[in-house]
Chains A and B, each alone.
Chain A
Amino acid sequence: MTRWTPTEAPPPHRRWQSRQEILREYLDSLVQWNFGVCAPSIMHGPWGWDFKKNGYAVGRLEFFEWLEGKAGFKLDQPRWPKGNGDDSGRWSGGAGTASPGIGHNSGQATRGGHHFVPRKIFDNEPLRPETRKVFEDGVTGPLRGGRHQNSKEHSTYNEAVYEHYQTFLHNKGIRPEEMTPQQARKLVNEVKRSSDPRVRDLNLRIYRREILYWLRRIQRGNE
């Protein structure tokens, strides 16, 4: 009998890793779809993508709301009144309605986050103040886990929203200055639910990053 001899060197020994490190490395290695397969409780819950209907499954909005709640976002939070410069209309972080000074800190992390209709692209639109406020408020809540690299995802997202906005105005037969807050709300919701991969993929990626961030925090908290 011929004795079998290995033709390749055995793989080098890996250094010792804690369970948390292994999990973290594993989660980091997952792309969107296999993350959904390996962590179905997170991605394939009632809020997931419905492949048959090619749309978001019922309950996804509740998931957004859960995340927003996790991040400290509340719809009825007080906002800075008019006349507070760039802060007008933004969340005041529960700090009442006094003007925010330099170094203003309510102790609550309530501001910031991803605007579904990108903030800088509606900034110079001739919108009514109450309509603008709807776009201002259409955010995910504060984000913690997103580092930027030189990807073009924001540009493609902006372009998709731009096209969507143009189509929306055309279909309604209105000009930007005529857009009502109700119409703006409808537009924001359409962007949120959009199945356009340019929009959907970025939104999902943001939520995935935040979920990973919170998973890691929970892990760290349990250590």
Chain B
Amino acid sequence: MSTDEDRLHEERLEQFERLMNLVDRVMKQFGRHDSLSALGDYSVLGDYWGYPQVKVDVHDLRLLDPYIIEWLKNIVAAFPGWEIVVTVAIRGHYDDWPDMGLYVRAHEIFDTLQRQYFPKEFQTLEYEGSRRGAEAEAWPL
């Protein structure tokens, strides 16, 4: 592998660690992280998979609050080219709800939420500066 590519990988790894810790710090204020002792309200994926992304699975719809998402958007703005993937993973609905979530980027929130599945109080969730679309449209081909 070329040295340039190695350097990019290492740089991204450093950025991943920082962004992942910041995301965890924000989420920690609103819920409990999954652990080996108890299942919690959310889970940040601690592994870097080779793309400039940090993934967080939320098990409680309250964590999709626009205030929290806006906070995440402000954080990712300091990491150009990165995005935070907020996945809806509600226990008991892994199989009967389709894949959906939010791609939080510095310039936009790409919203693939399918609100018709949510309880009434969460069906009106709106995010400023968001663009709705399907999962397949999350990235330009």
Task: Point out residues on A near B: beta carbons under 8 Å.
Answer: 86, 93, 102-109, 111-115, 117-125, 139, 142-152, 154-156, 158-159, 161-162, 165-166, 176, 213, 217
**Number of contacts between A and B (CB, 8 Å)?**
140
Task: Report 19 cross-chain contacts, Cβ distance below 8 Å, ordered by A residue.
Answer: A105-B7, A105-B10, A107-B6, A119-B46, A120-B24, A120-B46, A122-B36, A123-B35, A142-B9, A143-B50, A144-B9, A148-B45, A148-B87, A149-B99, A150-B85, A150-B112, A155-B59, A158-B39, A166-B36
Decide if B76 is an interface residue (CB 8 Å cutoff).
no
Query: What 1/0 flags go to B32-75 for Cβ under 8 Å of A?
Result: 01111101000111111111010101010000000000000000
Decide if B77 is an interface residue (CB 8 Å cutoff).
no
Would you call A120 and B44 a contact (CB within 8 A)? yes
CB neighbours of B9 from chain A (8 A): 109, 112, 142, 144
Docked Cα-Cα span, A123 to B55, in Å, equals: 17
Chain A nearest Cβ from B134, distance in angstroms? 11
Docked Cα-Cα span, A54 to B95, in Å, equals: 24
CB neighbours of A147 from chain B (8 A): 49-51, 53, 139
Other than the given A104-B14, A115-B46, 5 more pairs (CB < 8 A) read A113-B47, A120-B34, A121-B34, A155-B57, A155-B87
In chain B, what residue has the closest Cβ to A113? B47
Chain B nearest Cβ from A96, distance in angstroms? 16
CB neighbours of B55 from chain A (8 A): 148, 154
CB neighbours of A145 from chain B (8 A): 49-50
CB neighbours of B106 from chain A (8 A): none
CB neighbours of B101 from chain A (8 A): 150
Query: What 1/0 flags go to B129-141 for Cβ under 8 Å of A?
Result: 0000001001100
Query: What 1/0 flags go to B80-98 for Cβ under 8 Å of A?
Result: 0000010111010010000
Residue of A112, A124, A148, A154 near B53 (CB, 8 A) is A148
Docked Cα-Cα span, A105 to B43, in Å, equals: 29
Docked Cα-Cα span, A111 to B47, in Å, equals: 10
CB neighbours of B100 from chain A (8 A): 150
Decide if B11 is an interface residue (CB 8 Å cutoff).
yes
Chain B nearest Cβ from A29, distance in angstroms? 15
Chain B nearest Cβ from A212, distance in angstroms? 12
CB neighbours of B59 from chain A (8 A): 155
In chain A, what residue has the closest Cβ to B6? A109
Task: Point out residues on B near A: beta carbons under 8 Å.
Answer: 1, 3, 5-7, 9-11, 13-14, 16-17, 21, 24, 33-37, 39, 43-51, 53, 55, 57, 59, 85, 87-89, 91, 94, 99-101, 112, 135, 138-139
CB neighbours of A144 from chain B (8 A): 9, 50
Docked Cα-Cα span, A120 to B35, in Å, equals: 7
CB neighbours of A149 from chain B (8 A): 85, 99, 135, 138
Chain A nearest Cβ from B125, distance in angstroms? 15
Would you call B35 and A121 a contact (CB within 8 A)? yes
CB neighbours of A159 from chain B (8 A): 39, 91
Nearest 5 A/B pairs, CB to CB: A146-B49, A119-B46, A150-B101, A155-B89, A120-B46
Residue of A93, A104, A124 near B35 (CB, 8 A) is A124
Chain A nearest Cβ from B133, distance in angstroms? 12
